[in-house]
Amino acid sequence: MAERFFERLALVGIGLIGSSIALAARRSGAVGTIAIATRTPTTLARAEELGLGDAYFADPAEAVKGADCVIVCTPVGACGLVAEAIAPALERGAVVSDVGSVKAAVIRAMAPHLPEHIHFVPGHPIAGTEHSGPDAGFAELFRNRWTILTPAETADPAAVERFAGFWRSFGAHVDTMSAEHHDLVLAITSHLPHLIAYNIVGTAADLESGIRSEVLKYSASGFRDFTRIAASDPTMWRDVFLNNREAVLEMLGRFNEDLSRLQRAIRYGDGETLYDLFSRTRAIRRSIIEIGQDTAAPDFGRPH
Amino acid sequence: MAERFFERLALVGIGLIGSSIALAARRSGAVGTIAIATRTPTTLARAEELGLGDAYFADPAEAVKGADCVIVCTPVGACGLVAEAIAPALERGAVVSDVGSVKAAVIRAMAPHLPEHIHFVPGHPIAGTEHSGPDAGFAELFRNRWTILTPAETADPAAVERFAGFWRSFGAHVDTMSAEHHDLVLAITSHLPHLIAYNIVGTAADLESGIRSEVLKYSASGFRDFTRIAASDPTMWRDVFLNNREAVLEMLGRFNEDLSRLQRAIRYGDGETLYDLFSRTRAIRRSIIEIGQDTAAPDFGRPH
Ligand SMILES: NC(=O)c1ccc[n+]([C@@H]2O[C@H](COP(=O)([O-])OP(=O)(O)OC[C@H]3O[C@@H](n4cnc5c(N)ncnc54)[C@H](OP(=O)(O)O)[C@@H]3O)[C@@H](O)[C@H]2O)c1
Ligand SMILES: NC(=O)c1ccc[n+]([C@@H]2O[C@H](COP(=O)([O-])OP(=O)(O)OC[C@H]3O[C@@H](n4cnc5c(N)ncnc54)[C@H](OP(=O)(O)O)[C@@H]3O)[C@@H](O)[C@H]2O)c1
């Protein structure tokens, strides 16, 4: 039988990640009931239409009453305000978490508001798509993907382990690390790739209008891959860059140095430097496929 | 009934693109017989095992004898040498083409060798995958994708139209433009995206080894998309950058200016600049999906 980790789960924010958690938790039987709160009435109504929860609240403080697990699923920039709003209503011993793509800044924003009598276990599921909102969720989103937890060193190991079990019931793998380390690793695996994708799509959008329509027609030659990532939610991503500045600037610095070297190689016709790099990078793709983090099918298995 | 455009097609080079043309031409009935030549004996033997053609030659000059259509499907850097080798054996009135991702430099390399009595119609199918070699080809590769032809202004319109019909028989759309314009548009839709993908994967590969294994584990957060493109053939891409230097450096200059602006916005916490860009780029993705050049399925429809 499936294990029940919590009696009542409260989700504050019910977009892609919140709705995927709701669907996954329902399917795995990891929780008894699900309470949902979100800011906008139409979003809440849509969540109810989709049957994502058992009870729906406009006020997040109402939603967390009686919940032994609370997960904040809003953009990173809203986490502090949500923590402030729910703090007085949190149950003793509840696990309180989030799913923000940045961890140190979220902890700085939330922790001061949270009472001593709860277990704060910040989290980040390394899974997503370019879509957002409650309709975008699906129960399989977290399967075979990692969820990173960044509890304080003083956190109760039993509470952390219980919360890890909850995530594992969705088919996720769980890693624990410091918030600072998380932010550095995600700066290179996620934040910089998004920045660069947004940037090149922006560069193309600014081209003379004659060329612009051709950019769309001929996008299958590489460009279209970048447009997927650059179609991600603007609020979410603005908040990520505002809240992980140091690590992103550090990785961007390295990227720029490396790009200058390539630029020079192109300018001076240095084929060897180009060939060397282009051969090294293939091995990384192979490793990612080997560890099951991407499909081996050509072109991501897109229909042809 | 399917239209036959050429009696005998000769392909010099039989990797991803050459083998896809062979399979597509066989299926559409666009040609009578197919002659194949390639440099390496094992590749030629593999092409024969796969039944890609009707006759197989180590010497490209032998392969083009009696062919009314010849397509050079080698990396860009080899096109000049191939043209020199086949020139004396080309049939009067044959259409001679290539599939190189760069056009002006290929024309400069090939044209001086080609006799007056053939029709030179350089081409570039805007379709591909990250795989290479004769096993990578499939007949559907060109369906619903554009093929760009860049004949000289003095080219015979009837020969160009016949060759365009040949490509259309694969389900491709055909555009005609100048080689210079092609090289500029492809610099932004294909060459710069590849350069940037290679670069960021290289930056990640150079990270301290502790972080490197984490980059693989957490790659589903954006990075893995770039590794697909950065797994493309190193020889092909070295040749592209060596042969489209000016246009690539021009687009790279624009990209760098835009990236500096984003870097500054992150450093100074300018959320508005970030949000503005991140909202604009969504529209480009939507347009690409609307014109049928990418799938609307989340995450390219990858299995979850
Ligand atoms: N998308 C991904 O790929 C991904 C992956 C891993 C982690 N994350 C993280 O997950 C979190 C949610 O992302 P998502 O993709 O689920 O976003 P989403 O689909 O856009 O949903 C965001 C939710 O938060 C609510 N919200 C937005 N602004 C708010 C505010 N100022 N105050 C209160 N609620 C607000 C929205 O509410 P209303 O509609 O009611 O306004 C909506 O329910 C973010 O922190 C993000 O960093 C995202
Ligand atoms: N891949 C794409 O996505 C794509 C898309 C559009 C256009 N293109 C263009 O298509 C052309 C071929 O690309 P591809 O992807 O088919 O490459 P590929 O799979 O690597 O195949 C290249 C073929 O060219 C031969 N070749 C390599 N170097 C050669 C040399 N120095 N002299 C003579 N033959 C040589 C190889 O022969 P051996 O195995 O016999 O050595 C092989 O048969 C390139 O010009 C590329 O720019 C590629």
Residues 6+ apart with CB under 8 A from B282: A230, A231, A234
User: Domains in chain B, ordered, with CATH?
Assistant: 6-177 (3.40.50.720), 181-269 (1.10.3660.10)
Least CB-CB distance to A189: which of B146, B206, B223?
Answer: B223
Tell me the β-bridge partners of A163. none
The Cα–Cα gap between B295 and B289 comes to 6
Q: Say if the Cβ atoms of A234 and B131 lie within 8 Å.
A: no
Distance CA A180, CA A175 (A): 14
pLDDT in tens, B87-110: 999 999 999 999 999 999 999 999
Tokens of B82: 């191939």
| pLDDT tops 90 at residue A1 | no
pLDDT band at B1 (very low <50, low <70, confident <90, very high): low
ipTM of the complex: 0.96
pLDDT in tens, B145-192: 999 999 999 999 999 999 999 999 999 999 999 999 999 999 999 999
Which among A126, A185, A275 has CB closest to B211? A185
Alpha-carbon distance of A280 to B202, in angstroms, equals 8
Cβ–Cβ under 8 Å, residues A103 and A130: no
Residue contact B301–A298, C-beta within 8 A: no
Pairwise CB contact (< 8 Å): A218 & B185: yes
pLDDT, position A304: 78
Chain centroid offset of residue B96 CA: 17
Which tens digit of pLDDT belongs to each residue from A72-82? 999 999 999 99
Q: How many CB pairs below 8 Å do chains A and B form together?
A: 343
The rounded distance, in Å, linking the Cα atoms of B93 and B80 is: 20
Q: Which pLDDT band holds residue A2 (cuts at 50, 70, 90)?
A: confident
**Structure confidence at residue B3 (pLDDT):** 93
What is the distance between the alpha carbons of residues B26 and B11, in angstroms, rounded to a whole number?
13
Chain B residues in contact with A278 (beta carbon < 8 A): 198, 230, 232, 234, 237-238
**pLDDT, mean of residues A90-108:** 98
H or E element at residue A267: helix A245-267
Under a CB-based contact definition with an 8 Å cutoff, are residues B198 and A277 in contact? yes
pLDDT of residue B170: 98
User: Residue B251: its pLDDT value, please?
Assistant: 97
pLDDT of residue A209: 84
Alpha carbon separation from B173 to B96, B143, B215 (Å, rounded) = 20, 8, 39
Tell me the torsion sign for CA atoms A102, A206, B293, A298: negative
- Section A100-128 average pLDDT: 98
Question: What confidence tens digit (pLDDT) does each residue in A139-153 have?
Answer: 999 999 999 999 999
pLDDT for B2 equals 78
Please compute the mean of the pLDDT values over residues B53-81 and round it to a whole number. Answer: 98
When scoring B142, B209, B223 by the number of chain A Cβ atoms within 10 A, the one with the most, hence best to mutate, is B223
Residue A39 touches partner B, C-beta closer than 8 Å: no
CA atoms within 13 A on the CB side of B189: 26
Q: What is the pLDDT of residues B114-153, one digit of tens each?
A: 999 999 999 999 999 999 999 999 999 999 999 999 999 9
B247 interfacial to chain A (CB closer than 8 Å) = no
Contact (Cβ atoms closer than 8 angstroms) between residue A203 and residue B188: yes
